[in-house]
Amino acid sequence: MVPRRAEGPLPPPLPPPRVNSQTRLLPPTGNLSAHRSKTPSFISSQSNEADDELSEIGDMGPSNIDDQPRRRPQWDQEDVRFTSAKEVSGFYAYGWAAEVFVICGMASFIPITLEQLARERAVLQNDRSKPCETGPVIPTNPEAPSIFARAPHKDKEQCVVNFFGVDINTASFAMYTFSISVLLQALVIISMSGAADHGRYRKTLLLIFAFTGAVTTMLFLPLTPNVYILAALFAIIGNVCHGASNVLLNSFLPLLVRYHPLVQYSSPPTSPTLDHHDVAMDNHSFTDSTTTFDPALADSTAALLAPPAPDLTTPAQPSRATTTSPELQLSTKLSSYGMGIGYLAAGLLQTISMFIVIATKSTLFSLRLVLFVVGAWWFLFTIPAALWLRPRPGPPLDFGAPRSSSSSGSGTKSGGLAANIVYVGYAWKSLWRTVRRARRLRDVMFFLAGWFLLSDGIATISGTAVLFAKTSLDMQPAYLALFIIITTVFGVVGAFSWAKISRALNLRPSHTILACIAVFEIIPLYALLGYIPAIQRLGVFGLQQQWELYPLGGLYGFVLGGLSAYCRSVFGELIPPGSEAAFYALYAITDKGSSVFGPAIVGAITDATGEIRPAFWFLAVLIGLPFPLMYMVDVERGKREGSALSRELEGRDNAASGGEYRPNTPSQYQNRCNGAC
């Protein structure tokens, strides 16, 4: 029987390629014996060219898979080549480049730099004639507060700065800046999503936003307190650019998975048992003369669903791989590795930043210099991503005019401002269309509702914790840098550990998200212990001492490392095929749009009460609410509904065009291929 997917029948497998001494084998998904008779071994060369294929090497004769692609192009410039090793490396490279802005920038040094710049222009709240104390941002005298010192009294003087005629707390200044940045970020993401889904603009836009954000971050270096408003402007531009580039990077993930050889050639087992030769093959690494390759790294089930050793005396039982699609397994693995690599980069740079702050004698210049280094890191390491990522053009946008055969793939004969305006208008129409389609996908709606609340909590609690440590615990930037390092290190551990935890506890990816939420709730609840009189008299616990922030930072990083990867991967499986950028834009808008509210509410609470601790009541509720919504998400049901919606839309488009092939939406291209290729 020919194996079938929900989208349509698979083409017959290719004959296995010839293998020579220079060949490096990549095993397909699942156990090796199940596929050996049906699929070729995948091969990667030692080529240095950017589009080097996992499957290309030497003389492969007629079996070369580039000569026999698994699916046919459905528009002029569709790239149906297999996902290459360097393409995946490019995906990872941008995570290495850009994640430092989030962790070392927005989660660490940008908030305290904004607060410090505003503080040096601020006055005391109770006596507007007295300026706030300024000076070194790290004490240089032996009587400086220890990390084991008790928090200062809550009635200590608060600093306020006049912001366009309104007096606001200096800590609130940073929170309001973040809220404005994510509001603008959402607008930009919506406007560019049409160009990302169509033509060759996906990669181009990613690079434009990346380099712009990096340069803007470097411009913190010459700023002074007299122009602290410019610091807020640069922070807003940097955060907008990072968020937009991250959406574009996320839109590459389903494409990397869809064209990956492990997914293209995955098929059900043909034999219930393994022979001894297969077992021997399964239990060692494939090698060539120059490279050692671990099959677990190529097996998309390795990260989440590594099977136990086979039992040759009994019939094989159905594996858990049958309950989770190869696409979801591989997507989760790539997403987790990408997050882990990003955390590694951020941890390394945060360590460097801590030494920079100490070596430059703890001045405001120290903070600005660190942000310059963050921007330079982002800029330099974006270059490998620019070289290795393929554009992966989307279907051309139909502007209602005939396309020439020499079209650039944008669907127009001419570019310029008019075409850009059409793309922006199309993007907003697409958003409304995407929202209407998402409303018909109940699992997408459950997920987005939960993600709206959860992402707001994630974004808000990090900035709240940093500003709480600086203003309420008097923690100095060097200690704050150590806090972020701990958070980052545990983020790396979490990114690579949650897969093992999920496998050990037999959890589906959606259930792993629930576990992360439950652990995440510990953070605000612990901070609220500081309101209990007995804890207050004890003088420790409930975030009354600086050292207590470190274990909470480790917990935050550990949870976030798994939560971000699993949420991104699970949502990717719910997207109707062919609409990746549009739905990931909706995902990011839900994320960033919600983050407008959290920081603004925390800022308002801080302005009203004069301290940040009461905001943890709000955060405890915000993090707990997504749990029941995520519990109702069924990934397999969501995939079926997404595929059904795509087929329905394709049929509607075909009927409207009288049977003529008029590709107006990305899903039409994808579903035509799924049914025919």
**In whole angstroms, what is the distance from residue 377 CA to residue 369 CA?**
12
pLDDT (tens digit per residue) in 586-605: 887 787 677 788 888 988 88
**In whole angstroms, what is the distance from residue 456 CA to residue 582 CA?**
21
Q: What does the longest C-alpha to C-alpha distance in the chain come to?
A: 86
Contact of 327 with 285, CB cutoff 8 Å: no
Identify the residue whose tokens are 């601020």.
122
Of the pLDDT bands very low, low, confident and very high (cuts 50, 70, 90), residue 378 is very high
Question: CB-hemisphere CA count at 13 Å for 118?
Answer: 29
Encoding tokens for residue 531?
Answer: 């309101």
**In whole angstroms, what is the distance from residue 619 CA to residue 465 CA?**
11
Query: Which stretches of 90-190 are assigned E, i.e. beta strand?
Result: 123-124, 159-163, 166-169
Percent of the chain with pLDDT strictly greater than 90: 19
Q: At what angle do helices 580-594 and 228-258 cross, to 10 degrees?
A: 150
pLDDT (tens digit per residue) in 193-210: 777 767 678 888 999 999
pLDDT (tens digit per residue) in 545-602: 888 889 998 999 899 877 877 887 888 888 887 666 668 768 877 876 777 888 889 8
pLDDT on residue 398: 61
pLDDT on residue 290: 33
Of the pLDDT bands very low, low, confident and very high (cuts 50, 70, 90), residue 90 is very high
Which region among 234-243, 491-500, 584-593 has the lowest average model confidence (pLDDT)? Answer: 584-593
Of the pLDDT bands very low, low, confident and very high (cuts 50, 70, 90), residue 128 is confident
Of the pLDDT bands very low, low, confident and very high (cuts 50, 70, 90), residue 101 is very high
In the three-class reduction of DSSP (H, G, I as helix; E, B as strand; rest coil), residue 163 is classed as: strand
More confident residue, 492 or 257: 257
Per-range mean pLDDT, top range of 123-127, 153-157, 172-176: 172-176
Q: At what angle do helices 509-520 and 477-504 cross, to 10 degrees?
A: 140
* Helix or strand (DSSP H, E) at 286: strand 286-287
Listed residue (459, 386, 487, 490) closest to 97, CA to CA: 386
Instruction: Give me the domains of the chain, ranges plus CATH numbers.
Output: 99-260+325-395+415-637 (1.20.1250.20)
* Helix or strand (DSSP H, E) at 42: strand 42-43
Encoding tokens for residue 328?
Answer: 């979801």
Query: Which stretches of 135-277 are assigned E, i.e. beta strand?
Result: 159-163, 166-169
pLDDT on residue 464: 86
pLDDT on residue 75: 66
**In whole angstroms, what is the distance from residue 331 CA to residue 334 CA?**
5
pLDDT on residue 442: 86
pTM of the model: 0.67
Listed residue (622, 629, 671) closest to 649, CA to CA: 671
pLDDT on residue 300: 32
More confident residue, 326 or 296: 326
**In whole angstroms, what is the distance from residue 299 CA to residue 25 CA?**
12
The yes-or-no verdict on residue 637 having pLDDT over 80 is yes
Contact of 573 with 639, CB cutoff 8 Å: yes
pLDDT on residue 168: 85
Identify the residue whose tokens are 């551990």.
493
Of the pLDDT bands very low, low, confident and very high (cuts 50, 70, 90), residue 406 is very low
Of the pLDDT bands very low, low, confident and very high (cuts 50, 70, 90), residue 369 is very high
User: Which conformational region is residue 221 in: left (phi greater than 0), alpha (psi within -120 to 50 degrees), or beta?
Assistant: alpha
* Helix or strand (DSSP H, E) at 430: helix 416-439
**In whole angstroms, what is the distance from residue 573 CA to residue 637 CA?**
10
Encoding tokens for residue 297?
Answer: 């790294």
* Helix or strand (DSSP H, E) at 253: helix 228-258
At 126, the amino acid letter reads N
* Helix or strand (DSSP H, E) at 640: helix 635-656
Per-range mean pLDDT, top range of 17-31, 118-132, 349-363: 349-363
Which residues 6+ apart lie within 8 Å of 616 measured at CB?
Answer: 464, 524, 527, 528
Cα-Cα-Cα-Cα dihedral sign, residues 646, 578, 300, 279: positive
Of the pLDDT bands very low, low, confident and very high (cuts 50, 70, 90), residue 651 is low
At 453, the amino acid letter reads L
